[in-house]
Amino acid sequence: MIYIENIYAKEVMDSRGNPTVMASVLLSDGTLQNAIVPSGASTGKREALELRDKDSNRYLGKGVLKACENIETTIANNLIGLNPYDQSHIDMILQELDGTENFSNLGANATLGVSMAIARASASSLNIPLYRYLGGANALTLPTPMLNIINGGSHADNTVDFQEYMIMPLGFENFSQALRASAEVYHHLKSILKDLGHITSIGDEGGFAPNLKSNEEPIEAILRAIEKAGYKIGEDIAIALDVASSEFVENGIYHLKGEDKKLSAEELIEYYERLVAKYPIVSIEDGLSEDDWRGWELLTKKLGSKIQLVGDDLFVTNKKILQEGIDKNIANAILIKPNQIGTVSQTMQTVRLAQRNNYKCIMSHRSGESEDAFIADFAVALNTGEIKTGSTARSERIAKYNRLLEIEGEIAQTEYIGKVLFK
């Protein structure tokens, strides 16, 4: 029987220049695989804990040596000798070892790193792709990308309130065509912004970060780029927004600083209704604060039958919180971030719950990423149908797209569901 022979950890760097955890798993047959854990900037307060050292003498307190130590002591001591192919059992042990709901003892960056590395090592040991190991024969759907091409909010140092302005290439036959079209729009957008006199530096996720005058101006620029690239607005390529409203709410009032507006939840919903009526917007993420459940009920009532309403900070990939949202008819989609919950199995449980209740799922990166492309395989394995992993710039984002191109070439009959995603 193949068993886990050893588990190691190392402090490595993420795309923002901060330390993060790389976990390595060695199996008894000689298989050695790694996994690198991402880190978010805009984080929900209920997501699993990312353990940091808080030693001001190292990395401004952001070191992860303690998380690495937890991997090489507590976690390794309890997992060495076990069957690596029983992912759910291993992940349950990780939960029990920590003993808290949010991994505040071991750190979710420790547990997730080990969980992902074990899944990857198991797939490699069996000589099958990770998506096939986690998803079986049903892993066929290449996800429709949501590409963040203009950054605002906490992802950029500019005057735009909304965190992400994304394009969704819906009207294409396959993933590679969709990605090509998206890259073309991205390059045309750069030219348009440059011609308008804006800087074309990029934010954490590869989108441009210009100082625009309103929250609608980025949409207008993107629509011009779609047209200039030769694609049909709303048909070939549509717009998606990540508002990340928890970042600009205070005492129930939403302050759009870029436009100098202070709005109640009801007024902000009316604002969204006007945007949706005016522009080809098919998805809004975190339109209201993670604490504003009453507002979310109204938002879902007003727009839930028209567009995708995504809970990120709202649900934090947690099946218990998602179940509450399902019971209250809040939102109709969930962002899936494995490091919000702490293990591969818990992530899969949340996706299954969402899919059983007709909530769409969007596999997602974090703003602090690495060359690790685990989520690309994960999106295909779970048939999420959608993925967020940044623009067509920055190598830590491109790593995911390139992996999806590889997967598309490996699967004989892939599905790309962009055309029917919002029918």
**Per residue in 220-244, pLDDT tens?**
999 999 999 999 999 999 999 999 9
Q: Directed axis angle between helix 108-125 and helix 87-98, to 10°?
A: 160
Q: Which of 10, 62, 319, 337 does the annotation list as catalytic?
A: 337
3-state secondary structure the chain: CCCEEEEEEEEEECCCCCEEEEEEEEECCCCEEEEECCECCCCCCCCCCCCCCCCCCCHHHCCCHHHHHHHHHHHHHHHCCCCCCCHHHHHHHHHHHHCCCCCCCCCHHHHHHHHHHHHHHHHHHCCCCHHHHHHHHHCCEECEEEEEEEECHHHCCCCCCCCEEEEEECCCCCHHHHHHHHHHHHHHHHHHHHHCCCCCCECCCCCECCCCCCCCHHHHHHHHHHHHCCCCECCCEEEEEECCHHHCEECCEEEECCCCEEECHHHHHHHHHHHHHHCCEEEEECCCCCCCHHHHHHHHHHHCCCCEEEECCCCCCCHHHHHHHHHCCCCCEEEECHHHHCCHHHHHHHHHHHHHCCCEEEEECCCECCCCCHHHHHHHHCCCEEEECCCCCCHHHHHHHHHHHHHHHHCCCCEECHHHCCC
Provide the pLDDT for residue 17. 96
Handedness of CA 44, 45, 49, 52 (dihedral sign): positive
Per-residue pLDDT of the chain (423 residues; tens, 9 = 90+): 999 999 999 999 999 999 999 999 999 999 999 999 999 876 778 999 999 999 999 999 999 999 999 999 999 999 999 999 999 999 999 999 999 999 999 999 999 999 999 999 999 999 999 999 999 999 999 999 999 999 886 555 567 899 999 999 999 999 999 999 999 999 999 999 999 999 898 888 999 999 888 899 999 999 999 999 999 999 999 999 999 999 899 999 999 987 889 999 999 999 999 999 999 999 999 999 999 999 999 999 999 999 999 999 999 999 999 999 999 999 999 999 999 999 999 999 999 999 999 999 999 999 999 999 999 999 999 999 999 999 999 999 999 999 999 999 999 889 999 999 998
Question: All domains of the chain, ordered by start, with CATH?
Answer: 4-127 (3.30.390.10), 141-420 (3.20.20.120)
Provide the pLDDT for residue 257. 84
pTM > 0.95: yes or no: yes
Q: Is 270 annotated as a binding residue?
A: no
* CA separation for the pair 403, 39 (Å, rounded): 20
Q: Which of 205, 290, 297, 369 does the annotation list as catalytic?
A: 205
Q: Is 161 annotated as a binding residue?
A: no
Verify whether residue 205 is a known catalytic residue.
yes
Q: Is 285 annotated as a binding residue?
A: yes
396: Cβ contacts below 8 Å, ≥ 6 apart: 14, 15, 369, 370, 371, 390
Q: Is 216 annotated as a binding residue?
A: no
Q: Is 255 annotated as a binding residue?
A: no
Q: Is 337 annotated as a binding residue?
A: yes
| Tokens 């076990």, located at residue | 82
* CA separation for the pair 386, 144 (Å, rounded): 5
pLDDT, tens digit (0-9, with 9 covering 90-100), for 311-369: 999 999 999 999 999 999 999 999 999 999 999 999 999 999 999 999 999 999 999 99
Q: In what order do the strands lie in the sheet with 4-13?
A: 4-13, 19-27, 32-36
Chain centroid to CA 151: how far? 15
> Do residues 104 and 49 make contact, with C-beta atoms less than 8 angstroms apart?
yes
> Do residues 47 and 317 make contact, with C-beta atoms less than 8 angstroms apart?
yes
Q: Is 367 annotated as a binding residue?
A: yes
